[in-house]
Each structure stands twice: as structure tokens, then as C-alpha cells.
Structure 1
């Protein structure tokens, strides 16, 4: 399975997980809103019920006083039965019975209201617990969703970075093969061809000398010397491209100066170099790294940015090595990923190897500025 396919599969899985979590969050929110709405409705009903209960208690107490008074009269009628008429006795009995019936019904309704009030209070407690749990779950799901999306973003960035590194690794291999081919062609077309000519010319010198023409032999020897010098120059040039000998002999600053002078003259470009701070020799791996970084940045400015002026500053202080490369070329948008931008990727990889940082500032038509800073202790 390719990296692209794995990335797509992972993206689908995480997207489904995010959708499930979001749907769960929506459901919990819906449950919470329903519970909250019911809570508000039951709270209003509870307040009304409490008012009714109080009213029923007051009405019941008043009616109970009337029943007590009516029962007292009924007791008096029963005691002095012969003093009251039949209609008056019936009225007292019926009135007392009616009041007792009304009181019983009132107390029954009061009891029902009390029970309803208690039920409402229990229901409200349960709803309040449900709302708090729902809110807690919603908060946790929000955190989970945030972590999930952030982690997926990081995973995507890691996959993208791994893919870039894979492509960069393949590009390095291709570049190595191309470099081998180039060196092979240069040696074949340059020193190897010249050495073959030198061999032929040396045979010609030998034949000319044997035939007795000393003057012609000396002329041929002079030509052989010229060819030897040219061959030597070509061999030295190839060696310098592979690794400048001046870097080992003289150090970073003189090597960059020499490289800039040669490159500026060959490409007809104005290149300014400003060294700042200490000019002491650095650790070899730092000298190699910063020379290659300068070389890559300058070549990018010439080949891709088509710059006419390039400024290079190198500062060596007690804690950092800082290099700034600025050009007046056509620039580009750093936020837009470009194909075959392996030069910048390679520079960034090299800087990160030394725990450094590289900042790239560019815009179309505004030129490019690269700032590289690497921690380094100068003793």
C-alpha cells in the first residue's frame, strides 16, 4: 500500500470518527435542550402547585372551623332534640354532612397536590442531574473532538513531511546519479581526452626527435606542456566542485569569498559578501554545512530567481552562526507548494540537523530573503 493510499484510508477513518463524535455531540445537545425545556416547564408547574397547595390548606383550615362549629350545633340539637323543629334539625344535619363532604374532598385534592408537588421536585432533581451530565459529556466530547481534529492535522502534517522526505531522499539518489554522470562526462570530455591527446603528442615528439628535427620536437613539447596545464586545471576544477580544498586549508570565510568571486564573474551577477564577528576556524561539519547552504542559496537566486544582485551576510558570535542571503529576483509565494523545490527542502533539512532554524521571506516580484541561525559555541 502506497503512502498516498494509506493517507487516504487514514483520512476516511478519522473523518468517520469525527462525524460519529459530532453526531453524538448533537444528540447530547438535543437531549440537554429537551431536558432544560422540560425542567423550565416543570419548574413553572411546581410553583403553581405550591401556590395551590397553600390555597387548599388555607381553604381546608377555614372549612374545618366551619365543620367544627356545625358539628357543635349538631351535638346541641341531638342533646336538646325536643327544642328544635323537624326542618331546623334536617337543615343542621344536611349542612354538617355537606361541610364534612366538602372538607374530605378538599383534603383529598390537597393530598393529590402535595403528591404532585413531591413528584415534581423529584423529577426536577433528576432533570437537573441529567442536564449537568449532558453538559459534562458535551464538554468532554468537545475536548475529544478538538484533540481528534488537532491530532489528525498533526498526523497529516507528519505524513506530508514523511512524503516530502521520501521524495527528497529519492531526489538525492537521482541527484547523486546525475552528479556521477556529469563528473564522468567531464572527466571523459576533459582530462581523459586531454591525456589521450598528450599520449599521441608524446609519441609524435618521440618520432620527430628520432627523425632529427630537434626544433619541431621542442615545439611539440611546449604544446604537450600546455595540454598538461589545461588537464591539471580541469582536474582541479572538478575537485573544487566536489569539495573546495580551500575549505580545509583556509576555512569558511575565505572559501565563500573565493566561491562568490568566481560565481559572480562567471554568471555576470553582482554578489556582496559581508562577514561579521569572529573569523576563527569553525568545527569542520559547520564549515561544510554553511558553505553548502550559501552555495545552494546563491545558485537558487541565479538560476530560479534570475537575480541581478545578491547579498550574503555571515555573522559568527559566541552563541550562534547566522547567515542571511537576500536577492532582488522575481520571488515567489512560500505558502504555495512548488514542484521540484528540493533545494529549499534540502537546506531546511541541513539546518534542522544542527537544531537550527531557517526563515524564508519572499513574495512575487519582491525578491527573496533567507535567514539561517544555528546554535554554536565559539571557544
Structure 2
């Protein structure tokens, strides 16, 4: 009976994974499509604003000519007998022609303004779609991670109904904490950048109207740079959720790339040392070790305000050991260990692989995380 239940459970998980992966792909494609449209519309907005500015200048010039010819018409009317019929006709026809041109220019200006306003509204709508799409991709990736990395092993870990219920609650709590963490990253990163882009867009608009096109173009280039930075930030968040290099290159190259990116992004010093030959391991070991190192390093960067972090990976015959040491502010283990979902998740991963984890920390004295996992054939 237990084997039938496990088989059914695996079928449900596989079905959920297929749905989640398909949904993530569709959301990502929609978001990328919105980004492409955003880029095209941004260029079109610059062009349209330039045309509006030119129409305004041209209209002002024509209005000056209209006023000039009105004065000439007034002179002709007062001295009607002085001018020849040809001169009078020329003045009237020229005045009518200029008025017609002015009307056409003003109508073109109105049309361009409407087009500009429509593009600006569309850009704001696209910004919201990109922000929501990026957030959804991140959330779906989190769900996919837990389904792939954790739920596959639940049937091996749960022995009775009480254990299933307890472990399920911990997974839900960990998911919620991960969603909150990603939400904070998106709020503090891409969301803030997009808000700044909106402000810059308004600044560009005012610059076009009140100053010059060249100054507005400089502001637009700056805004493009902010859009690129926001895109890089979103991609960094997505990469951190599940680096593809882990499946292709293995643990050590992926860790080396991850730490190098983190070091550059946060402007701190992170060193990696290896002892022994850490060849390709089974997927469950590589995923677990990567997540453990990732969680420890992220804690050191975000919560401990560390300036130096050292990661050591050692392969000792039939086991792999990892240590992560930082010079951060440290914390009180008695208060932190029972409340931190991150530490709970780390302990759960180590316990699932029959390993050991030790955390040493004191306030003002930094933190060291030591993990030892046995390798089974």
C-alpha cells in the first residue's frame, strides 16, 4: 500500500513540475516580449518628442509671419488706392497661405502630442507588466525549486502522518520566508530602479519642454542605463534561484562563479579554497551543498555586514566538508536558531543527507558554519 501511495505521490509531483515549468516559461516569454516592446517604444518616444518640439518651433515661426502679414493687410486696407491690384492679391494670398500652413502645423502638433501621451501611458503599463512578470517568474522559480529539490525526497523521509504534517508545515513556512526574501530583493532592487525610471521619464518630458532637446537626450541615455541595470538585477535574482551551471559544470565551478559575482556586486572580499579532488557528485549532494553555501554567504552579506568571507571545500575520501567563515557582527545562537527559517532549512538539508552541521557565532566575533556530509555510492 505504501509503494502505491509513493508512486501516486511521485506522479502528482511530476505533473505539478510540468505545469510550473510551463507556466514559468510562458511568463518569462511574456516579460521578455514586454521588455522588447519597451525598448522600441522608448526609442519611438524620443523621436516623437523631438518631432513635437520641432512642430512647436515651426508653429511659433509661422505665427510671427501671420502677425506680420496681418499688419501688412491692415496697411493695404488703409491705403487701398495706393497699391496695385496685383500687390493686394499677393498680400491676401500670402497671408492665407501662411494661415493654412499654421493650421496644418498645429494640427500635426496636436496629433504628435496625442501619440506621445499614448506612448508614455503604454510605457508605464509595460513597466508594471515587467515588474509583475519578473516577480511572478521569481516566485514560480522558488516553487519549482522546492518541488524539484525537496518534495522528491519527502516520501523517503516521512514515516507516519504526524511527521508528514510537521514537515509539510516547515516547508510551507520556508516557502513563505523565501517569497518574502525575494519580494524584498525585488522591492529594493528592480522596483526601486523602475520607480526612478518613471521619475526620469517625467524629467525628460520637462526638459524637452523647458530646456533643449540635447539636454533631454542626455537624460534619456541615463534612463536607458537605469533600465539596463534593472534588467541585470532581475536576471541576477533569477540566476541565484537556480544556476544552470550547477547541472552543466558541477559544484566547484558554479560556486566559484557565484562567489565572484557576489563579490563584485557587493564590493567585498570572498575567497574560495579547495582541498582534495572535488569531482562531480550526485545531483542531490551538489544541490544541497550549493544551497548551504549560498544561504551561509547570503546571511553573512545581508545580516552580518561582513567585509571578508572565506569558503573552504574539502573532499575527504568518502565525505565532503564545507566551512563558511565571515568577520561580520555575529549573532546570539540561543535567540536566532529557533526562529530563523534559513537556519532551519540548512539543518533540514543536512539531516536529509545524514550529515552534520555546526554553527559557531558570537556578537561582534563573526560566524563560522561547518558542514560535513557523507558520500554514499
Please report the TM-score for the alignment, with normalisation by the length of structure 2.
0.43
> RCO greater where, 1 or 2, for CA within 8 Å and sep 6 or more?
2
Greater Cα radius of gyration, structure 1 or 2: 1
